Amino acid sequence: MNNIDIAVIGGGINGSSTALHLAKSGLKVCVIDKDSICRGASGVNAGTLTMHMTRAKLIPFAKKGWELWMNTEKWLSNNIDVKKKNGLCLAFTEEEENLLNERSQIRKEYGADINIISKTEALKIDPNINNKIKCAAFCEMDGYVSANQTGDAYTKALKENNVEIVENFEVSKINNSNNNYEIIDVHGKKINANKIVLAAGVYLEKILKLVDINIKIKCFPQQLIVTERMPELLRTVITVAHGKLSLKQFENGTVLIGGGWPGKGNIENGYNETIPENLIGNMRLACHAIPNLKNSRVSRVWLGLEAETDDAMPIIGELPNLKNAFIIGSIHSGYTSGPYMGKLLSEKILGNDVDLSLFDIRRLMN
Amino acid sequence: MGWRQNNYLISYFFGYNKLYNLIKFKKRLTLLHETVNLRIHDYFERGKKVKIIVNDVTIEAYEGECLSVVLFITNRKNLRTSPKLKENRGMFCMMGSCQECVVLLDGKKVTSCNIFIKDGMKIKTGNLDEL
Amino acid sequence: MSFKKEYDVIIIGAGPSGVKSALTCSKKGLKVLIIDSNGNSGGQIYRAPPKSYIKKSKKTLEENLIQIKFSEDLKRNNIDTAYNHTVWQVSPGFKIDAFNENGTIQWNTKNLIVATGTYEKIIPFDGWTTPGVIGLAASTILLKAHQTIPGNKIVLAGNGPLLISVAYYILKFGGKVDAIVDTSSKFEWIKSMISLIFNPKNFIQGISWILKIIFSRVPIYSNSLIKKVFKIENGISVEIQNIKNKQIKKLTTEVLAVGHGLTPSTDISRLLKINHTYNDLKGGWIPRLDKYFRSSMQGLYITGDGAGISGAIPAEDKGELAAYALLKDQNIIIEKEFTNKTSRIIKRLNRYEIFAKGIAKLNFTPKDLINNISENTILCRCEDITKRDIINAVNNGAKNLNQIKSWTRFGMGPCQGRTCQYSVAKVASEELKCNVKDLDYLTGRTPLRPFPLDKAIGDFEYDEITKVEAAPL
């Protein structure tokens, strides 16, 4: 492989979006992944595109990301399932009602068009929800993507834009000399590039060590539950005040239950398992929100790893003390804003004026 | 044994077999009101006769029989439809593995090969995702 | 039955090997629990009739007698039995989660014996999803456990000894077999029967079955496969094709029972992420085990047909061997007793291998069956994924089964790939011109069976729901 302008290490939604936008600007790009691309969090997350659960400070970015998702045929693919849906965030107790009012207000201040509505109005929008709710928050800018299609869609788009995809390449060393980076895998294979972007998701802490940067990145295994196909069980995307539930029903009738409930996992050996009381807790919350969900059966449960920095804010931008090295990762609701964050970083790399100060990695370094 | 004796033996066997089967066939016709009863009653006595409701039609079965088997032999082989092509699907593996025999039992999806008949069960078959 | 929270050994699967493991462990004083999703012991091969069936005649099928003895032995040895319990998760350590009609339950143990047997391997063909087409093993269960003949007119197809066994039982019970369609040749049958001579009892039984079929004048189509099936007014139309001369014969019948052998159930071993090895003669992917059925995970033993297909006859021996390995590993028996007991069993198993190999060859999937699958044939029944969908994914760059699954949705339905994984792997490997083992196998996932939500959640008040930290703002 010759004359690579930029090597992106990590082919998830952040890395692949960055690569795609760079390639569209004419650069020769290579995406490297230790597995197949988009098989990490990007391929197994709930695919929720909601403002109700997005970190308040990230709302402006999530909104732009949402716009991109609603127009995938323009930059990604015709064949990925994206649906715009109304989003309802529910409160079941007085305490939750207060929490909902407070959080929705803050999110609104950051630009999300969220409004509190009454129980009656909420039931009109979605008659399937539990009629014992106190109130709900409503937002039209909501919906979902079928996350398991991410890999297929990005692979095609990257190939169409002449991006080299190198899979099953586990990076073990990064050498920097003469304005050139040499990326070496566990078997000794080498890739040379002028610039690098570190987008390795939950493996960012490990990869950063290869360039002598030490940042703690926490990994949270989170469970997801999907039912078999069912007749209509809900017609909106459902979340709850404290943020620990997401519910959506795909066109194929399956219902995906998420919400970030923790499981147990080991990033080293890849082993993960659910914590039974969390599995039951998540299911109970879901069935409380949509009572008829009780009639279905769970078809699959799996866990994905979410990466988070110490202050739960993303890291995007230049790497300090290194020339031509960049980073993108640890973005909460990263699936929604990933395509936009990748675009922002690509603009930065191309030399355009982009303000990424909010995400500067130096805040996490001593 | 000579050729003639051999043949005699074979046709004796063959004839006996046919007669034996015919007697069993007729015997089976007299039990339960169906065209031909496929239930074998030689080794076991089944439970008491009960009624279940399948798509609003009442049918007779024996208590404790397997639901998917009863539906299969009473000419109700179409249990559900496939998701994309909307093909009819029915009982296939009988081991609780393939999930093809799913029906609605009192509103809930169940694998009918694991369900045993109780009096008054309400079953729905057909396009379960649109019922 | 009231269960304990923890047991010395838990055995999943109450078929012949699981039961023998349980008895062997219990005789040495261990607290044993045996779990099965059926209502009784016996597994699939000796599956008991429903509890509501009362024995009426003096004559009993041999299989019923074996099953009754299993149940009596388990009871006499005070082994706890969790029938009608479906295991939905197994975690290392081990924690076993199961559900039954009343709710969910969890058991702990340091030693787990997995004896979950097999599934039937059925290679797809045009119209195999038509209602009325069932498995050969399925028809065995209908006949022997449910005492029911599948239909008034039946065609049997596929390969292996099950073809003969099902035909025999249908005829014995007074049913009609319209045809037997066997992918093997008569010569291959004779070769297998020769290896059967090492088991005289089964040899004679096999011969008597074949004779009954011949005397009943059942048409036998050797070297043939099912080309196509479709629904007609009062039944189904079956197209039989001769593999050699490609001639087609059409038949009208009511039920088609088809099976191409068995494949080990690896749900639990894949979920626990132990290593597997590919061996077509043993049924496909099998867990990597030593000769005493120990896996690479401490405390985990996998036995019976789930360790590699060898049939019902050596199943009890295999279960006993695994139990002895467990007992030795737990220092309950010493080296001398271990060697004593196991060397005899191993000698028997080695002698049996000759026969097992001969029979296994009959169940070997001929390439003709794979080539017979047309582009429009559904491979993944749960999600309606066709052969063309799989080929497209492979041609677009999907390099292994997990990636093909991610891109096509095959294996994402309620059966989690149990029915189709084998054929999808064969089709993909043909297209990629690689070995099936290079495609790896589907990652095991929880729940092991579709898990009814109402059973999972039980009755609860809102404030009883487990509290988790609220998401950050």
CATH number at residue C306: 3.50.50.60
Residue B109: inside a domain: yes
pLDDT of residue A366 exceeding 90? no
CATH number at residue A138: 3.30.9.10
The SS3 of residue C250 is strand
Give the mean model confidence (pLDDT) for residues A126-143.
96
Set of chain B residues whose Cβ sits within 8 Å of the Cβ of C147:
39-41, 43-44
Among residues C266, C259, C252, C170, the alpha carbon closest in space to that of C218 is found at C170
In whole numbers, what is the pLDDT of chain C averaged over residues? 94
Neighbour-count burial for C32-46, b at 16+ CB within 10 Å, e otherwise: bbbbbbbbbbbbbbb
pLDDT of residue C426 exceeding 70? yes
Among residues C267, C268, C284, the alpha carbon closest in space to that of C90 is found at C268
pLDDT of residue B33 exceeding 80? no
Give the mean model confidence (pLDDT) for residues A230-251.
94
Domain that holds residue B82: 49-124
Between A and C, how many CB-CB pairs are < 8 A?
119
In whole numbers, what is the pLDDT of chain B averaged over residues? 81
Q: Are strands B49-54 and A115-118 parallel, antiparallel or unpaired?
A: unpaired
Interatomic CA distance for residues C443 and C169, integer angstroms: 38
Q: Do C472 and A296 touch (CB under 8 A)?
A: no
Residue C178: inside a domain: yes
Among residues A143, A144, A163, A146, the alpha carbon closest in space to that of A155 is found at A163
Residues A154 and A119 in one domain: no
Q: Confidence band (pLDDT; 50, 70, 90) for C309? A: very high
Interatomic CA distance for residues C17 and C6, integer angstroms: 22
pLDDT of residue C238 exceeding 90? yes
Interface of C with A (CB under 8 A): 89, 91-92, 95, 97, 104, 106, 273, 393, 396-397, 399, 402-403, 406-407, 409, 412-414, 416, 445-447, 450-454, 456-457, 460, 462, 464-466, 468, 470-473
Mutation for testing the A interface, residue in C90, C399, C419, C457 having most A CBs under 10 Å: C457
Domain that holds residue C303: 6-119+263-333
User: How many beta carbons lie within 10 A of that of residue C397, not counting itself?
Assistant: 17
Length of chain B: 131
Chains that touch A (3 or more CB pairs under 8 A): B, C
Residues A173 and A315 in one domain: yes
Instruction: Show which of A308, A328, A352 is a domain's final residue.
Output: A308
pTM of the model: 0.86
Residue C316: inside a domain: yes
**A143/chain B closest Cα distance in angstroms:** 22
Host H or E run for residue C259: strand C255-259
The residue of chain B with its CA nearest to that of C58 is: B43
User: What separation in angstroms does the CA of C129 have from each of B78, C368, C384?
Assistant: 11, 20, 10
Host H or E run for residue C386: strand C385-386
Q: Do B102 and C138 touch (CB under 8 A)?
A: no
Length of chain A: 366
Among residues C107, C111, C243, C224, the alpha carbon closest in space to that of C163 is found at C224
Interatomic CA distance for residues C284 and C279, integer angstroms: 5
pLDDT of residue C80 exceeding 70? yes
Residues A173 and A287 in one domain: no
Contact A257, A224 (CB under 8 A): yes
Q: Which of residues 56-75 of A touch C (CB under 8 A)?
A: 56
Residue C472: inside a domain: no
Residues C184 and C197 in one domain: yes
* Domain total of chain B: 1
Outline where DSSP puts E strands in chain A.
4-9, 29-32, 82-91, 115-118, 135-145, 164-166, 171-177, 180-185, 190-198, 218-227, 237-240, 246-249, 255-258, 264-265, 272-273, 297-308, 315-318, 325-329
Does B14 contact chain C (CB < 8 Å)?
yes
Residues C92 and C130 in one domain: no
The residue of chain B with its CA nearest to that of A253 is: B129
Residues A302 and A315 in one domain: no
Residue A66: inside a domain: no
Q: Confidence band (pLDDT; 50, 70, 90) for B32? A: very low
Residues A132 and A230 in one domain: yes
* Domain total of chain A: 2
Residue A246: inside a domain: yes
- Cα first-last separation, chain B: 68
Q: Which of residues 40-99 of B touch C (CB under 8 A)?
A: 40-47, 62-66, 69, 72-73, 77-79, 82-85, 87-99
Residue C360: inside a domain: no
Residues A158 and A178 in one domain: yes
Domain that holds residue A334: 4-43+149-216+311-364
Name residue A134's amino acid: K
pLDDT in tens, A10-32: 999 999 999 999 999 999 999 99
pLDDT of residue B9 exceeding 70? no
Set of chain A residues whose Cβ sits within 8 Å of the Cβ of B96:
none
pLDDT of residue B2 exceeding 80? no
Residues A282 and A350 in one domain: no
pLDDT of residue A35 exceeding 60? yes
pLDDT of residue A233 exceeding 70? yes
Does B98 contact chain A (CB < 8 Å)?
no
User: How many beta carbons lie within 10 A of that of residue A25, not counting itself?
Assistant: 12
Burial class (CB in 10 A: 0-12, 13-18, 19+), C336: exposed
Does B34 contact chain C (CB < 8 Å)?
no
Q: Do B95 and C454 touch (CB under 8 A)?
A: no
pLDDT of residue B28 exceeding 50? no
Who among C412, C462, C468 is closest to A300 (CB)? C412
pLDDT of residue B14 exceeding 60? no
Residue A79: inside a domain: no
Who among B107, B129, B131 is closest to A253 (CB)? B129
Residues C132 and C246 in one domain: yes
Residues C158 and C237 in one domain: yes
Residues C326 and C392 in one domain: no
Q: Do A252 and B83 touch (CB under 8 A)?
A: yes
CATH number at residue B73: 3.10.20.30
Residues A304 and A177 in one domain: no
Residue C247: inside a domain: yes
Instruction: Show which of A308, A328, A344 is a domain's final residue.
Output: A308
Tokens of A311: 């202050």
**A103/chain C closest Cα distance in angstroms:** 7
Residue A62: inside a domain: no
Q: Do A231 and B108 touch (CB under 8 A)?
A: no
Residue C427: inside a domain: yes
pLDDT in tens, B42-79: 899 999 999 999 999 999 999 999 999 999 999 999 99
Residues C115 and C138 in one domain: no
Host H or E run for residue C157: strand C154-158
Higher pLDDT, B6 or A244: A244
Set of chain C residues whose Cβ sits within 8 Å of the Cβ of A277:
466
* Domain total of chain C: 3
Residues C130 and C68 in one domain: no
Q: How high is the pLDDT of residue A268?
A: 79
Q: Are strands C80-82 and C54-55 parallel, antiparallel or unpaired?
A: unpaired
